[in-house]
Amino acid sequence: MFSLPLRDNARLRPLETWQAEEFAAHMDRAREHIRPWVGAGFITEDLAGARATLRRYAERQAADGARLHGIWLDGTLVGGVMFVNFDAAAGSCEIGCWLEPAAEGHGLVTEACRALLDWAFAARGLHRAQWNCRADNARSSAVAKRLGMTLEGVRRQSWPYGGTRHDTQTWAILAPEWSAHRGATGN
């Protein structure tokens, strides 16, 4: 029922339980591409797994916690952005994203994250938004940079993947920084 226009004929929408089949089909296109860069639990292998992800997010949203949003490009679900954590009492949240290969290079994730940050800071009054990514995930850290975030630290060998333990970067932006960034970039 609801959607937000992004650029390039793309829209951001809530990604909900009833969209499990669409999400599972998208996961088939995205799986191997995103596997190294997202949390292990986000990779699912079939419809039941896709449905479980959507259900889990919906239940956390019902408790004002995590939230999941999809990005549709030309009517196809191509990825999304989420509040991995959302803690109104503490005034902080963590944002994440994923995208299938065909949709990269349009700035869709950055644009979608702007909508999440606007909502978190303006509508909900949060003070701090965080972004975690593997230290060797250049594409992801570039998004954090474009959003005006600051690199706050590197948790060493905290991301096990493929038999190795990778470092994890933590980026963050505070409410007044986001206001300034929005003003400066004109976005």
Please report whether residue 63 would count as binding a copy of itself according to CB under 8 A. Answer: yes
Q: Is residue 167 within 8 Å of 157, Cβ to Cβ?
A: yes
Q: Min. distance of Cβ 109 from a copy of itself in angstroms?
A: 16
β 128-134/92-99 pair status: parallel
Please report whether residue 90 would count as binding a copy of itself according to CB under 8 A. Answer: yes
**x-or-dash string of contact with a copy of itself, 120-149, rule CB under 8 A:** ---xx--xx-x-------------------
According to CB under 8 A, which residues from 22 to 41 bind a copy of itself? none
Q: What three-state secondary structure class fits 1?
A: coil
Helix H or strand E segment including 175:
helix 175-185
Q: Distance of CA 146 to CAs 24, 48, 109, 166, 178, Å?
A: 30, 36, 11, 23, 11
Two structure tokens written together for 25: 């089909």
Task: Round to whole Å and give the CA distance between 121 and 129.
Answer: 9
Cβ closest to a copy of itself, residue 17 vs residue 44: 17
Cβ closest to a copy of itself, residue 48 vs residue 105: 48
Contact residues toward a copy of itself (CB under 8 A) are: 1-4, 13-14, 16-18, 55, 58-59, 61-64, 69, 88, 90-92, 115-116, 118-119, 123-124, 127-128, 130, 150, 152-158, 160, 165, 170, 172, 174
